[in-house]
Amino acid sequence: MLVRFLCMQENKRATLIDVANAAGVGASTVSRYVRGGKSVSQRVAKRIEAAIAALGYEPNTLARGLRVGRSQTLGVLVPHVNNVFFGNALRTIQMEAQRRGFTVMLLMHQEDAKLQQEQLASLKRSRVDGIVLVPAANTSAQAVRALLEGTPVVAFDRPLHKTIDSITLENLNAGKIATEHLLGHGHRHLLAVTGDYELHPLEWRMKGFQRAMESAGKTPEEICLRDPEQLSQDLCKALQRGRSPVTAILSLSYSVTISILKVLHDRKIPLRSIAFIGIDDLEFASLLDPELTTITQPTNQLAQMAVDQLMKRIEGSEEHPIRVAIPGKLTVRSSCGCRGQVGMSRA
């Protein structure tokens, strides 16, 4: 009662000084105690503890941040959170950050480079200590570097620039192993479908496809998802042409897979009639018939490494920029043809 009266007259939040007064000690003593139970006598500790509880004191992170020049906050800027990969990555990033005493400020740029710049500026104003960035399509690495001068950044999922740490999937390899797997099933005419945006991962996955095809002495075919209608036509043409139609499809990303499935569904082309592998896992991959074979990203590992590396930079490590690429895992289900006679009727 008394303490409440002493400092809460205006119903304002209790401050460190309120606690100090209530406990009958100096401010810095409370400060030391709050930050880590070091160098405080037992008796005083008890009194401080009591005062904190009585006042409902919560340290003011803003004030601390201003004082020490560190907000203990990480900025996370992603295109969106509407797929398993980003969703899970976000979860891991947030938890890893929290484990280290950091909170996460989340922004999305919707694949829009201009909006991305604004979001980055916003993060700078918030004085985040570091940023996990999934660069938008058509990002100018130079513009980002200029804006972020002085703030540690790690590029996630998509590399950005030689001077910036990046943590990504081994994209070329992903394209390669998927293609090789399909080739292993005896298919001769494979089609790779890529997305609308010019994204580094898509390009390298495509390169993996091309190399694997060339190594096997086959001609790589590819189409690009511009609008759904176009995709629908292109796809049908490839699948239903008279001479040596395509019998196996490699989808280069999550959203492309969704689009392809939609086309097949709309056109009533049974998934069973072709071999299919998608890069990026889907939540419902094993709910389809046949179950979808995918290349799964080691999402948690990627996210963890991103946070790790970012922390190193925040601590001030001046080492050379790193460029980590982790291999994806071929998750074999049925759509590739491994179970049943998927797509082999015409192979």
35 binds, among its own copies, DNA, none (CB under 5 to 8 A by kind): DNA
**From candidates 46, 226, 240, 289, binder to its own copies by CB under 8 A:** 289
Query: In this structure, are residues 47 and 244 in contact, taking their beta carbons and an 8 Å threshold?
Result: no
CA distance 223 to 218: 16
**Among its own copies, DNA, none, residue 177 binds (CB under 5-8 Å by kind):** none
Q: Are 291 and 282 in contact (CB under 8 A)?
A: no
- Find the part of the chain contacting DNA (CB under 7 A) among 38-46, 245-253, 272-280, 318-326: 38-46
Detail the DSSP E strand segments found in the chain: 73-78, 103-108, 130-133, 153-156, 165-169, 190-194, 221-224, 248-251, 275-279, 293-296, 323-326, 329-331
Under a CB-based contact definition with an 8 Å cutoff, are residues 48 and 38 in contact? no
The correct pick among 235, 282, 305, 336 for binding its own copies (CB under 8 A) is 282
- Binds 236, which of its own copies, DNA, none (CB < 5 to 8 A, cut-off by type)? none
**Residue 38 Cβ, how far from its own copies at the closest point, in Å?**
20
Strands 329-331 and 293-296: antiparallel
Q: How far apart are CA 30 and CA 64, in angstroms?
A: 14
277: left (phi over 0), alpha (psi -120 to 50) or beta: beta
* Segment interacting with its own copies, rule: CB under 8 A, options 73-81, 177-185, 236-244, 322-330: 73-81
Instruction: Examine residue 26 and tell whether it contacts DNA (CB under 7 A).
Output: yes
Nearer to its own copies, 80 or 339 (CB): 80
Q: Which is nearer to DNA, 35 or 267 (CB)?
A: 35
With CB under 8 A as the rule, give the number of residues binding its own copies. Answer: 50
**Contacts with its own copies, residue ranges (CB under 8 A):** 11, 13, 56, 58-63, 65-66, 71, 73, 76, 80-82, 84, 87-88, 90-91, 94-95, 98, 103-108, 121-122, 124-127, 149-150, 258, 261-262, 265, 282-284, 286-289
